[in-house]
Amino acid sequence: MGNIALWSVLIGGIAVLVYAASGLFIISSFVIPLPFIPASYNIFLLSNLAIVSCIAVFLFDTGPNTKYKNNVIYRPLKKNAKISVVMTAYNDEKSVKGAVKDFKNNMVPYKAHEIVVVDNNCKDRTAKFAKEAGARVVKEPNQGYGWACQRALKSARGDIIILTESDGTFEAYDAKKFIDYLENADLVIGSRTTRELLDQNSQLNWFLTWGNIFLAKMIQIRYWRKTRLTDAACTYRAMRKETYEKIKDKITYGGNDWALATTIVALDSGLKVLEIPITLRKRVGESKAIGRNRIKGIKLGLRMLWDIITY
C-alpha cells in the first residue's frame, strides 16, 4: 500500500462517525416522529457525500507519487505474430463448442493460431465438446475463476493473447479491435457499458452495470490521469506475451476479483491500459459467479473495493 497521510485517515474516521450517527438519527425518527425529519435526510445525504469524498481523497493520496506523463506509444505488431485465444470454462457444455467455432472462424481479418479452453474441474462434457470443436484443452485443478484465468495465460503459446469466456457472451469479431489497439497499449480491456452494444437479455443489469462503473472510477482516482475506465471487471481483454511476462508473478488472485486486480497490477507496473467498447450477448446457461444475485454482487464489489484501496 502507498503512504497514507494522517489527515486523510482522520477525515475518513470523522466521516464514518457522522455517517453512523446520522443513520441512527434517521432510524430513531421513525420511532419518535419529529417535526424536523426532512433535515435528518439532508444530514444523511451529506454524510454519504462525505464518505464518498473521503474514499476518493484516500485513494488519490495513497496512489503512486510519481508524475505520470501521457506519452502516446505506437508499437506495430509483427507481421507474422501468432494469436492465442484462451478461454475459461466451468460446466459450459451448452456453449463451449459454439464459442470455440466463433473465434475459429470469425476473427477476420485475423486468425487464431490456437484456441485454448481451460477446464476448471467441469462436471459435464465441456472438455469433450471443446476438443471436438478444435480447441486444446488444459486442466486447472484449483477451483476458481482467477485460477482458471492464470492457467489460460500460462498455456498461451502465441505472441498476442486474447482472454475470453466460453459462455457465449463475447463476440469473436470484437477481437479485431483488441488486436488493432494493442499497437497503442500494453493491455486492452473491454467495456460492457455501451448501451447500444448490450443485448437486452444479458446478465449485466443496471445494478451490476453501475457497480462496475463505480469501481472503475475508483481505479481512475487511485491512478489519476493514467487511464479512463467504465468497466472494472470485464474478462474480455488482450495483451502481448511480453506484457504477461512482466506481470505474471503479481496476478496471483484466485477469485472472481481477478480481472479487476489484474488491471490494477498493470497500472501499478506503469503499463498503458486502454479500454474499448465491446458487444455483450445473453450468456448460454446459468452464471456460476454472480448472475443477477445482488447479495453476491455486493460481496464481490466490497472485495474489489478493498483490492483497489489496499493494493
Distance CA 129, CA 96 (A): 7
Residue 59 pLDDT: 52
pTM for this entry: 0.78
Helices 294-310, 37-62: inter-axial angle, 10-degree rounding? 50
Out of 109-113, 226-230, 285-289, least confident range: 285-289
Greater pLDDT, 260 or 1: 260
289 vs 85, more confident: 85
- Domain locations in the chain? 6-62, 83-310
Express as a percent the part of the chain with pLDDT over 90: 59
pLDDT per residue over 9-19, tens digit each?
Answer: 444 555 555 55
Domain 83-310's class? alpha beta
What confidence tens digit (pLDDT) does each residue in 25-67 have? 555 545 455 454 455 555 555 556 556 555 555 555 444 444 4
Q: What is the pLDDT of residue 64?
A: 47
DSSP 8-state class, residue 172 = G
The arithmetic mean of pLDDT across residues 117-138, rounded, is: 97
Q: Residue 113 has what pLDDT?
A: 97
Buried b (16+ CB within 10 A) or exposed e, 29-39: beeeeeeeeee
Q: What is the spatial distance between Cα 27 and Cα 30, in angstroms, rounded to a whole number?
A: 6
